[in-house]
Structure formats: structure tokens, C-alpha cells
Amino acid sequence: MAAFPAGIPVVIVNYKTYAEATGKRAVPFTEALLRAAAGKRVTLAVAPQAADLLRVSQATRVPVLAQHVDSLAPGNGTGATLVEAAQDAGAVGSLLNHAERRLTLAELDAACARLAAAGLARVVCTDNARTTGAAAALRPDLLAIEPPELIGGSVSVTTADPEVVRHSVRAAKAVHPQARVLCGAGVKTGEDLRRALELGAEGVLLASAVMKAKDPGAALGELLSGLP
Amino acid sequence: MAAFPAGIPVVIVNYKTYAEATGKRAVPFTEALLRAAAGKRVTLAVAPQAADLLRVSQATRVPVLAQHVDSLAPGNGTGATLVEAAQDAGAVGSLLNHAERRLTLAELDAACARLAAAGLARVVCTDNARTTGAAAALRPDLLAIEPPELIGGSVSVTTADPEVVRHSVRAAKAVHPQARVLCGAGVKTGEDLRRALELGAEGVLLASAVMKAKDPGAALGELLSGLP
Amino acid sequence: MAAFPAGIPVVIVNYKTYAEATGKRAVPFTEALLRAAAGKRVTLAVAPQAADLLRVSQATRVPVLAQHVDSLAPGNGTGATLVEAAQDAGAVGSLLNHAERRLTLAELDAACARLAAAGLARVVCTDNARTTGAAAALRPDLLAIEPPELIGGSVSVTTADPEVVRHSVRAAKAVHPQARVLCGAGVKTGEDLRRALELGAEGVLLASAVMKAKDPGAALGELLSGLP
Amino acid sequence: MAAFPAGIPVVIVNYKTYAEATGKRAVPFTEALLRAAAGKRVTLAVAPQAADLLRVSQATRVPVLAQHVDSLAPGNGTGATLVEAAQDAGAVGSLLNHAERRLTLAELDAACARLAAAGLARVVCTDNARTTGAAAALRPDLLAIEPPELIGGSVSVTTADPEVVRHSVRAAKAVHPQARVLCGAGVKTGEDLRRALELGAEGVLLASAVMKAKDPGAALGELLSGLP
């Protein structure tokens, strides 16, 4: 079954390296998010650190993504995270090329190919409409456009720069008609999610709005209030 | 208790990204090594991928090292492995600066400092006597000199270039008298381990001799036959 | 005037860091190449190291490309090569994303944008048909597909893997109909150039066949014998 | 003759990628600095971009440093700056490991070794006392400690954190008694230079105070007023 069924809005929470969702805290954190999403028509996925994948996938039923996987084949790669290791730890896919872990185009392509061969989902982050178009040529499951200057900020990309979302969707579909695009950066409220969907995105990728919230479950609940 | 008690030879097996010790295969692989080391006067430690740390540390009693941890503080660091994540996954320390994952000097220092603050062991890899001396200034628990041109080869550093081991021990102790040095690259036989100890090293770091062996436990047993 | 006029075959010689074309030796080396190309219907361009750009551009009349420029704006960037510095040193453009200097997709896009804004040519290297298609979305002046496993080898990509050239041309044009594609890796003889043009490429990017030749001018002459 | 004669204070101006000292503007910029230093008992050196080295070294008599050189041997290294290229372009040495271009410990060592073999000076940047001690083991001509959090700021390291300068000098000399240490970050006034020398440093490395000044010559003159 596809990790991200067509037609259902997608919300991915990137745990980054926030202490609140690291190690032993990752499971209760995830459970709070799951309660907030219960019964909603949304595909919620979370992206913990590599060392936390197994813990979260064993203890919860949320689709778990790696934050990054390396493109290399098994063998020599000390410090890398192999696609196979992420998969055995329960990941159904991986973010790739996040602003905090950019990949070369060659690595990005190779990582996409290895994930695809393993039957895992690829969510490729990009920074503008041109790179979204470029990444669409690699045919990932999802693209996620996040203008770097808005990441972690208080104004949602959907308000600060709605055109970048529209143009990214258009650029991606021009290269690959089945492309599906998320947006991110500053996304926080139900209204932000509602506008993202209006602009042609199929959902959002977010971190700080949930990760830095006093009550992460409530923060996610607020966001999900924008679901149609 | 120290991860590497003084006076006891150290053998660290770096699992790298070998398929044989990835994911579900990591636990039986580790158990085979533990059986080979049972009853021997050696501190055996293993270094699985980040995604496999929890699995190995939960299922076995071997000291587990991360292959790499990042130097950054919690927060923004998508794709990184936080010291805290490695620790909660059961790691007692980390390799750092392996030939396949070199760090800048500033990152190496910061990662050492974060590991030390968390009470975790630091095993810093180096490539010659000068860099071993330099790394000794960061006061890691162990240094591991591996001449890059011999890594993965069939001739042990202790035979091919015994002077680099002696000089590395001397350079490290000149900077930090309590420095302890391992050696690696091509290490395979009991004789290789015996010579490493003779040359002033306190043990060995190895990968391919065990990882690519038909019978990894037997390969480790052969190496450990060189223990005094 | 365009650096690479349409309809004229393109041959780019990448000097890499070969001693034979470094520093003072860069000018006589370049002069030998110019003599070999004199009177031929080809756009010959050469790519010396950053420190050699001024020297070559002042002493000769060949179009000079940087091997790499950084994507950052003026200010903080110690060790970087600014587009403006390359331009003032006489470069008419730059290679980008060579196998020995891969860029993240975001950097590649930003470097392309800065070069375009300065009126300089962009020659983007890629490693397969997919990444050629992706890079075409950035609308560089030229793409140069070089399968990494064939680089520096003795068999030309046009013989060893003609399909990768054909597929790259097709992938690039599917994304950007005006895309122009070079090929490289193992290219050496007139026959190699002739087949490159037959396969839909507009020329070749090469290094070792000329750089390691006893007589670089003669080596280039042999290659150019394949011009139509 | 040594690039940095013992007993004479050292002032190095890092041009970074400031537009004011890029390309054609590099020469008049340098001349203004030379006028400010004329007749002063100081070794003034400047570090332009690689593409500007030849221009500055040909037109002026100031010792010119590269901002970075790569550690690799001639051959394959597209986009790199070879030691030999920097030398032929007139550089008498190179900065290494600047905060904006950190090197792995192995690269730093190899670049130092290549520079030393070519008879060129090595100025190694560091970020705290520990890494200064570590880098001293590589025996560079000069170390330059710059706390990253103070770089580009308005308060000099000599005021904001005098202890880091003292400790760095001590850590360096403990490892290599002949070590010579510069300091940098926020350095601007004659008083800043005077205090640097008092704290045991042999001079300063600076950028923004001169690079962003309306009158760079006057800014350097103000700094040099602190010479003994």
C-alpha cells in the first residue's frame, strides 16, 4: 500500500534534533501527535532521528520516515544510514535534501533510486520553483518546497510567498505530471494548511510549530483544523 | 565505570554498512562475536549504524559505540545523530572522524566535548602520527590510527608500516601522556593483534577481516588468539 | 555574443589540477591546444584552475571557463571563488557540478542564477540521464553527461554506453527543448567525437586524453579529426 | 626569507569575497592598505581570492596569501586550488581552516605538508584553545584563533574574551614551543592590536573592520596605531 494515498492531505512532522522528541521522549511525543490526528482524514507521518526510528515504529502505528538516508550501497560507509537499516528499523520512506542536510544532485538521485528499489517513499525537499522542477525529474513520491528564508519563522510560506508554492506545483507538474508537492516554512495554523491546499499543495511539512509548542498535540490539532 | 578499562586490550569491530550486520541481521551477528570473545581478557566493542544501535544494545551485553555522532546541540539538525539520541539508544560512546566520515577539526572538538559532557567515550580515528598528536590534544578516550592506503587491504598496518604505530603512540603521549592508541587497517590475525600490542597500541579497530569473513565469529576468534 | 554559438560543435578541455597546465605552464599548454584547433569549425574552450584564469585569459584568445564558482553573494566566503572574481579574471563562464566537485541542488541552482545574472555561460556536469533531465530544469547553456565509472578510462562513453548519451539528450530536451548536451568520459579519438555528435550531443568535455598525452596538441588534433 | 620574520607583529587582512577587493578592485584596495602600513614595523599580508592572487602579487609588493589551498596532489581535482597554482600566482603561503572554509583534520594536515614542501607559509585558523593546541601539532607558521561567535562583531576578542587568547597561546606552546599565535574576531582599533600583543599573540587576522570601512586605508591605519 502506498505510504501517501492520493487524495488524502499529507502532514509530515520533522522531529529534527529537538530534545523533546529525542530518545525515550520520542514515543510519548509521537503518541500525543497521534491522538491529535485521530479520526482525521489526513496522512500524518513523522520523521525522527535515525537512532530513534526503531523505537517509534515499534511503539506506535504512525508512518515513520527517516530524516535522511545515504545513497551508498552496503559495505564501506562508516557513519552513514543505509536504506536497508532505515527500512529494518521500520521506516516507510525518507526525507531527502532537507535544508539542513542538502545532497548533491548525484547523491539525491542515487538515494531516490535506492529507496525506490526497496519500495520506500521519497520526500524530496527543495528551496524554490526551479529546484522543485529539477527534483521532479527524479520522480519522488512527494516534493516539499521550503523557502530557506522562511524556515523557522513566524509567517507561513502560504502567506509570505504564496507564489512560490503555486510556481513550484506548476514547475513540478511541467516536468512530471503526477508530481505531488507539499509546502513548508512557518506553517502553523489551520488557515496555513487550508491555504496550502488551495495553492495546489497536497499538504505540509513542518517542524518548529509543533516541536517548539508547549503542547505539541494541541499545536498539531490547531493545524489540522484546516483540513477540508 | 569506564567503557574501556585501563590495562585490558581493546578490540572494536566497526560494522560500517555491511549488509551482514545491518538491521535484523545485526543482533545474530553480534551474538556470534560475543561467543568468540567469551571468557577472553579483552574489551570487545561493536559499532553498528545509528538505526541499529537500539536493537543491538537491547538484545546483547556488548558495549555499543555509534559510528558517528554530530557535534550540534539539540534543535535544528535534520539528518544528524544527536549525542543524546545515541545515548538513549544504548551507545556507551562513539567513533569519530573515521576515514569514511572525516570531521573538521572544529566539529571533532565539539563532538568530543558533547560526548564527554554526556559521560560517553570518544574513539577518534586518525591517519598518521601528526594527526594522532593533534587529536590527542582533544583528550579522547582512545585514538585509532589507520593509514588510509592500508584500510581494507590484506596486509596489516603492524606489518606494512609498524613505524606509523610507534610514532603515533609517541606523538599522542607527547601531547597527552595518558593517551591510549589503537591501530587499524588490514588487521586480521592473532599475530597482527600481538604485534599491535608490542608496538605500544592498546588494541585494534577493525572491520573487513570480520565483516567479510564467511564465519565472523571464527574470524574474531582467530584475531583474539593473539591476546596475551 | 554567446560563448557557445549554436550549430558549432563544442570541445571543452578541463585542465583539472594537472601539473602540465598549472601556473606558468598553463599558457604554453593552452597555446598548443589553440594551434591544434586553428581553422577548425569548433568552439574550443578550456577550464584552468581559478588561480590560472587571469594568466590564460590575458595571454591567449581561447574562451576560458572556471572549473567551479561558488553560489554565494559577495561578503563572507573565505576560500570561495565569486562569480565576479572569475569574470574579472577573464572567464566567459564556468563548469559546475563536475564529478570531482559536486554541488547540492540548491547550490547548483544558485550558482547558475548568479552566472546568468552576470551574463556568463553555465556548463553543468551530470552523471546519468535522470540527473541530466533534472539539471535541464535549471536551463544551463550546456549540460555535460559523464558516467562516473567511465571517467578517466580508456573506453569512450560513446562506445561503452551510447544509450546514456541518447537518453540524456532526450531527458534534457523533454524538460527544456532548447537544451544542449555534451558528453564525456574516456573520449579520445576523432571517432569518439564523431559518434558523440551522431548520438545527439553537441560536443564533448574531456580531460585525461589531452592532459595526460605526451603531445597534448596532437591529442587534441586527433580528437578534432572527427569534426564534420 | 621567512614570510613572517620573528619579532615583528603580523597583521593579515582577509579579503574574503568582499566586492570592494574582488577582481579589478583588488589592486587599488591593496595599494591603499600598503600606504597605511608604509614605514611601520609590521608584517602586513593580504589574502585575496584565488582568482585575484596573480593580479595582486604582480601589481604590489605585499606578501600575498591564498585564502585556502587544497591538500590534493596534481591530477584529478576539478575546482580545487593546487598549492603549485597558488605559488605560481605569487602566493607566499595560505590561510587554512578559516571558519568559512573548515577542513577535516586529515585535509588540514595534508595541506600543511604540501605547503611546507613547497616552502610556503601556513596560517591555520582555529576556534578555541583546544583546537589551537591540536593544530599546533601540525607545526604551522602561524595559528589564528577566532571565536566564531565574535567573528564579524563589534567587540574585539581581546576585550570580549581575553582568556581565549591567553589559553590558546598556552595550549599551542605546550604542544609546540615555537608556536606563534594570532588572534581575530572583532579586531578593529589600535587598542585591540595593543591588547592582542599584550595577551601573548604576535598579531591579528582581520577582515570586516577593514573590508567594510568607508576608508579601508584609514581603518588599517587606526589599527596599526596600536603597534609598539
Which grid coordinates are listed for D40?
611601520
- CB-based contact B133 D175, cutoff 8 Å: yes
Which among B70, B78, B101 has the least Cβ separation from residue A95? B78
pLDDT band at residue A59 under the 50/70/90 scheme? very high
* Mean pLDDT computed over B85-103: 98
pLDDT at B202: 97
| List C146, C167, C202, C222, catalytic entry | C146
> What percent of chain B is modeled with pLDDT above 90?
97
Cα of A27 vs its chain's centroid, Å: 18
CB-count exposure of residue D61 (10 Å: 0-12, 13-18, 19+): exposed
Residues of B with CB below 8 A from A76's CB?
16-17, 100, 152
Give residue-wise pLDDT tens across range A102-158: 999 999 999 999 999 999 999 999 999 999 999 999 999 999 999 999 988 889 999
d(CA B189, CA C132): 47
- CB-based contact D105 B105, cutoff 8 Å: yes
* Mean pLDDT computed over A6-32: 97
Residues of D with CB below 8 A from B97's CB?
104-105
The SS3 of residue D67 is coil
pLDDT band at residue B182 under the 50/70/90 scheme? very high
Give residue-wise pLDDT tens across range C98-139: 999 999 999 999 999 999 999 999 999 999 999 999 999 999
8 A C-beta contact, residue D78 and residue C14: yes
- CB-based contact A175 C127, cutoff 8 Å: no
Cα of B174 vs its chain's centroid, Å: 22
Residue among A209, B123, C16 nearest D75 (CA) = C16
Residue among C99, C135, C167 nearest A136 (CA) = C135
Which residue shows C-alpha cell 591579528? Answer: D204
Number of other residues whose CB lies within 10 A of the CB of residue C21: 30
Active site residue D146: yes
CB-count exposure of residue C194 (10 Å: 0-12, 13-18, 19+): middle
Which grid coordinates are listed for B119?
559521560
Which residue shows C-alpha cell 510556481? Answer: A167
**Is the pLDDT higher at C16 or at A2?**
C16
Q: Residue C117 contacts by C-beta under 8 Å, 6 or more apart in sequence?
A: none
Which residues in chain D come in under a pLDDT of 50? none
Give residue-wise pLDDT tens across range B20-45: 999 999 999 999 999 999 999 999 99
d(CA B76, CA A185): 13
Read off the amino acid at residue B115.
L
pLDDT band at residue C146 under the 50/70/90 scheme? very high
> What percent of chain C is modeled with pLDDT above 70?
100
Selected for mutation to probe chain A from B14, B78, B82, B88 (highest A CB count within 10 Å) is B78
pLDDT at D108: 98
pTM of the model: 0.96
d(CA A138, CA A122): 10
| List A68, A146, A167, A202, catalytic entry | A146
Residues of B with CB below 8 A from D104's CB?
97, 102-105
Look at residue A85 and tell me whether its pLDDT is greater than 80: yes
Number of other residues whose CB lies within 10 A of the CB of residue B36: 20
Kind and range of the H or E element at D54?
A: helix D53-59
Residue among D199, D182, D135, D226 nearest D14 (CA) = D182
Look at residue B156 and tell me whether its pLDDT is greater than 80: yes
CA distances in angstroms from B161 to B155, D107, D161, D197, listed in the order given? 10, 21, 44, 44
Give residue-wise pLDDT tens across range A171-215: 999 999 999 999 999 999 999 999 999 999 999 999 999 999 999
8 A C-beta contact, residue D137 and residue B171: yes
pLDDT band at residue C152 under the 50/70/90 scheme? confident
d(CA D37, CA D40): 5
Kind and range of the H or E element at D206?
A: strand D203-206
CA-based nearest distance A108→chain C, Å: 8
* Beta-bridge partners for C11: C44, C204
Residue among A20, A23, A38, A21 nearest A224 (CA) = A38
Q: Residue D197 contacts by C-beta under 8 Å, 6 or more apart in sequence?
A: D9, D203, D226, D228
Q: Which chains reach chain B with 3 or more Cβ–Cβ distances below 8 angstroms?
A: A, D
Which among B19, B47, B98 has the least Cβ separation from residue A74? B19
- CB-based contact A104 C105, cutoff 8 Å: yes
Read off the amino acid at residue C185.
A
Which residue shows C-alpha cell 591540536? Answer: D134
- CB-based contact A89 B52, cutoff 8 Å: yes
Buried b (16+ CB within 10 A) or exposed e, A184-207: bbbbbbeebbbbbbebbbbbbbbb
Q: Chain C residues contacting A, CB < 8 Å?
A: 97, 99, 102-109, 126-128, 130-131, 133-138, 148, 171, 175
Which among D14, D82, D100 has the least Cβ separation from residue C49? D82
Which residue shows C-alpha cell 508530481? Answer: A179
DSSP state of D213: -
8 A C-beta contact, residue C22 and residue D88: yes
d(CA A216, CA C165): 51
In this structure, is the dihedral angle defined by the CA atoms of residues D189, D192, D196 and D197, taken in order, positive or negative? positive
Supply the angle between the helices D129-136 and D162-175 in degrees, to the nearest 10.
Answer: 20
CA-based nearest distance D101→chain C, Å: 6
- CB-based contact C105 A134, cutoff 8 Å: yes
Q: Check contact D-B (3+ Cβ pairs < 8 Å).
A: yes
pLDDT band at residue C153 under the 50/70/90 scheme? confident
Residue among D9, D10, D33 nearest D20 (CA) = D33
pLDDT at D1: 56
Q: Residue C162 contacts by C-beta under 8 Å, 6 or more apart in sequence?
A: C195, C199
pLDDT band at residue B1 under the 50/70/90 scheme? low
Cα of B33 vs its chain's centroid, Å: 15
Detail the DSSP E strand segments found in D79-120.
91-96
Residues of A with CB below 8 A from C137's CB?
130-131, 133-134, 136-137, 171, 175
Residue among D157, D225, D146 nearest D191 (CA) = D225
Number of other residues whose CB lies within 10 A of the CB of residue C74: 17
Residue among B112, B15, B36, B114 nearest B73 (CA) = B114
d(CA C185, CA C228): 21
Measured between its terminal Cα atoms, the distance across chain D in Å is 24
Residue among C75, B48, B140, A27 nearest D105 (CA) = B140
Kind and range of the H or E element at C196?
A: helix C190-198
The SS3 of residue D214 is coil
- CB-based contact B127 D109, cutoff 8 Å: yes
* Mean pLDDT computed over C2-7: 91
| Total beta-carbon pairs less than 8 A apart between chain B and chain D | 78
Which residue shows C-alpha cell 560512546? Answer: B93
CA-based nearest distance C218→chain A, Å: 34
> Read out DSSP for A19-87?
GGGSGGGHHHHHHHHHHHHTT-SSEEEEE--GGGHHHHHHH--S-BEES----PPSBS-TT---HHHHH
**Is the pLDDT higher at D79 or at B2?**
D79
Measured between its terminal Cα atoms, the distance across chain C in Å is 24
Nearest chain D residue (CA) to C82: D17
Residues of D with CB below 8 A from B108's CB?
105
Which among A106, A126, A133 has the least Cβ separation from residue C131? A106
CA distances in angstroms from B82 to A91, C42, C63, D111, listed in the order given? 19, 54, 48, 30
d(CA D46, CA D62): 7
Which grid coordinates are listed for B57?
544494545
Which residue shows C-alpha cell 591476546? Answer: B227
Nearest chain A residue (CA) to C176: A175
| List D20, D31, D84, D98, catalytic entry | D98
d(CA B171, CA B169): 6
| Residues of B with active-site annotation | 98, 146
Residues of A with CB below 8 A from B28's CB?
none
pLDDT at D2: 81
- CB-based contact A17 B66, cutoff 8 Å: no
Cα of C170 vs its chain's centroid, Å: 20
- CB-based contact C18 D68, cutoff 8 Å: no
Selected for mutation to probe chain B from A49, A100, A102, A146 (highest B CB count within 10 Å) is A49
> Read out DSSP for B135-147?
HHTT--SEEEE--
